[in-house]
Amino acid sequence: MQEIEIHQVPFDSPAAQQLITAALADLGARYGGNGDETPVAADEFVPPAGAFLIARIDGQPVGCGGWRSHGDENDTAELKRLYTAAQARGRGVGRTILAAVERSARDHGRKRIILECGDRQPEAIAMYTSVGYQRIPNFGFYADAPGCLSFARLL
């Protein structure tokens, strides 16, 4: 099996934007519309307030994910744009990115990570719960949306 390499990149870098576009297209196919209307700005993913990571196999970008600060206490990170390209699924890319995102958030002083996920993403929900995420009250842009599921995990 080829090694998964993780690299921190700017959120607005070409490789990140290519993966984010694919992630939003995947969400759009599941839910309709643009996939995710949550306001997101590139500067939210600049350390120490956040970070954005991509995964590469054989030099090719195959997945991404990032975190941004959430709340006023600077102890919570919000996971955003975790995605694995279709051709790389089933190879541990998502778990590898998730672990790297959590490590980055922890290294920047975050004690907890939260996320929003839709109910039409059973593979994501299964991954999150298998690594210890637990349901929490909904928050954020989709807090009142039907099918929104929110999760958290202590780092």
The number of domains in the chain is: 1
Query: Comparing 36 with 18, which gets the higher pLDDT?
Result: 18
Average pLDDT taken over every residue of the chain: 96
Asked if the structure places residue 82 within a domain, the reply is: yes
- Does position 1 have pLDDT exceeding 70, yes or no? no
What is the distance between the alpha carbons of residues 50 and 9, in angstroms, rounded to a whole number?
11
Interatomic CA distance for residues 50 and 70, integer angstroms? 10
Q: Is residue 130 part of a domain?
A: no
Q: To the nearest whole percent, how much of the chain has pLDDT over 90?
A: 93
Residue 35: pLDDT band with limits 50, 70, 90? confident
DSSP-assigned letter for residue 87: G
Buried/exposed code over 19-32 (b: 16+ C-beta within 10 A; e: otherwise)? bbebbbebbeeebe
Q: In this structure, what CATH number is given to the domain that contains residue 68?
A: 3.40.630.30
- Residue 11: which pLDDT band, with cuts at 50, 70 and 90? very high
Share of the chain above pLDDT 70, in %: 99
Domain for residue 16, yes or no? yes
Residues 101/82, Cβ–Cβ less than 8 Å? yes
Would you say residue 140 lies in a domain? no
Does any domain span residue 34? yes
pLDDT at 41 over 60: yes
List, in order, residues 6 or more apart from 70 with CB less than 8 Å away: 76, 77, 78, 114
In which band, very low, low, confident or very high, does the pLDDT at 37 lie, cut at 50, 70 and 90?
Answer: confident
0.85 exceeded by the pTM? yes
Does 155 map to a domain? Answer: no
Mean pLDDT to the nearest integer, 50-58: 98
pLDDT tens digits for range 83-132: 999 999 999 999 999 999 999 999 999 999 999 999 999 999 999 999 99
Cβ neighbours for 126, distance < 8 A, ≥ 6 positions apart: none
Q: Which domain holds residue 53?
A: 4-111
